[in-house]
Amino acid sequence: MELAAYLDQQSESKRLYDRALAVMPGGNSRHTIVMDPYPVYARSGHGCRVTDVEGEERIDFINNYTALIRGHSDPDVTAAVSKVIHAGTAFSLPTEYDIRLAELLVDRIPAAEQVRFCNSGSEAVLLAIRAARAYTGRSKIAKFEGCYHGIYDYAQASDSSRPGNWGELDSPQTTLETSMVPNLGKDVVTLPWNRPQICAQLIEDCADELAAVLIDPLPAALGLLSPAEGFLETLRELTRELGVVLIFDEVMSFRIDYRGAGHANGITPDLMSMGKI
C-alpha cells in the first residue's frame, strides 16, 4: 500500500478507526496494535499472508505474536474447529478435550505434573503468585526489573523503570504506575537481570517474607536477553534452599524449545505459566 493511500482520509482503515474511537478508548482494546495515525485493519489471512481492508496483501511476520504457529486459516485446524463447533463448544460441564490437552502438556513438559487452564497469561501469573503465597504463608514476591508479566498489579510493578526512578544496581527501586495502589511496592522486591550475587543478597535479605521469585527465562521486554551462564541455576538452588517458590513465566518464552524454556536451560521451576501454544 502506498503511503498516500494509507493516509487518505477516505480510506477504509481511517473509516474503521473513526468508528472504533467512538466505542473504545483510544480506538482499540489491544495496546500492541496502536499506530500513528491509525492501524491498518485486517480483513482475512491465509498461511503467512494477511489481506487488509484496502485489499493489499502482505507477509505476516508476527502471526498474532507467534500464537498462530501454523499460520492463518490452516486447513487442518479449520477442519478440526469446524467439526467441534457443530457439537457445541461452551458447556457448564467438563469435556474430554480438557483432559486430552492436559495429558499432552504433562507428557510434553518435565515441570508440569498437573495443569490448570486460565483465560489469559495475566490470569495464569496471578494464580501462580496466589498459589505460592498460599503454600508458603508469605506475601512478598521478587521479580526482575523491566520484565513484563501481564496486567496484574504485583506482576506489573517495575516493568517500565527509567533512569530517573530505577535506583541503584544493588538496590533497585520498585516503580509503580499511577494507577496502582501506592503501598503495593512494599510487597514487591525488584531484582537486576543477570546479576546473581546481587539477586542472591536481595532474596536472602527478605527470605522470611518472600513467597516467590518470578522469572521470564528469555525476557522479551529486555530485548530477549539470554540468562548468563549459571544465573538460572543460582536462582534455582537458592530458592529451593530458602523454601521460596520459583515461578517461570513462559507465556512468551515457552516456544524456544518443544518442552519449554525451563527445559532448554536445564531448570525445573516449581510453577510455570504458558500461553500462545
Per-residue confidence (pLDDT) for residue 246, from 0 to 100 = 98
CA 266 from chain centre, in angstroms, equals 21
For 11-15, the CB contacts below 8 A with 24+ separation are: 11/54, 12/41, 12/53, 12/54, 13/38, 13/39, 13/40, 13/41, 13/52, 13/53, 13/54, 14/38
Grid cell at residue 241? 534452599
Q: The whole model's pTM is what?
A: 0.88
Domain with CATH 3.90.1150.10 in the chain: 1-88
What are the pLDDT digits (tens) for 160-212?
A: 666 666 667 777 767 666 677 777 778 999 999 999 999 999 999 999 999 99
- Hey, is 164 helix, strand or coil? coil
Mean pLDDT of 142-149: 88
Q: Which residues contact 59 (CB under 8 A, 6 or more apart)?
A: 48, 49
Cell of 15: 473509516
**E strand or H helix at 6:** helix 3-7
Within the chain, strands assigned E span: 42-46, 49-52, 57-59, 140-144, 167-168, 171-172, 188-191, 210-215, 245-250, 271-274
* Residue whose cell numbers read 498489579: 153
Measured CA to CA, the distance from residue 34 to residue 40 in angstroms comes to 10
Which percentage of the chain shows pLDDT scores above 70? 92
Mean pLDDT, the chain, whole residue set: 89
Place of cell 505434573: 113
- According to CATH, the topology of domain 1-88 is Aspartate Aminotransferase, domain 1 (3.90.1150)
Is 6 a residue of the active site?
no
Please confirm, yes or no, whether 276 is among the known catalytic residues. Answer: yes
Question: How far is the C-alpha of 52 from the C-alpha of 68, rounded, in Å?
Answer: 18
Asked if 148 is an active-site residue, the reply is yes
Catalytic: which of 41, 74, 257, 276? 276
In angstroms, what CA-CA distances link 163 with 134, 176, 192?
A: 35, 14, 14
Cβ atoms of 210 and 140 within 8 Å: the answer is yes
Percent of the chain's residues with pLDDT above 90 = 65
The segment with the largest mean pLDDT, out of 44-53, 57-66, 165-174, is 44-53
Range(s) of the chain covered by CATH 3.40.640.10: 96-274
pLDDT tens, position by position, 220-258:
878 888 999 999 999 999 999 999 999 999 998 998 899
Which of 159, 187, 249, 270 is flagged as catalytic?
Answer: 249
* Tens digit of each residue's pLDDT (9 = 90 or more) over 72-90: 999 999 999 999 999 998 8
Catalytic residue among 17, 38, 148, 152: 148
CATH of range 96-274; options 3.40.50.720, 2.60.120.10, 3.40.718.10, 3.40.640.10: 3.40.640.10
175 and 192 in contact (C-beta within 8 Å)?
Answer: no
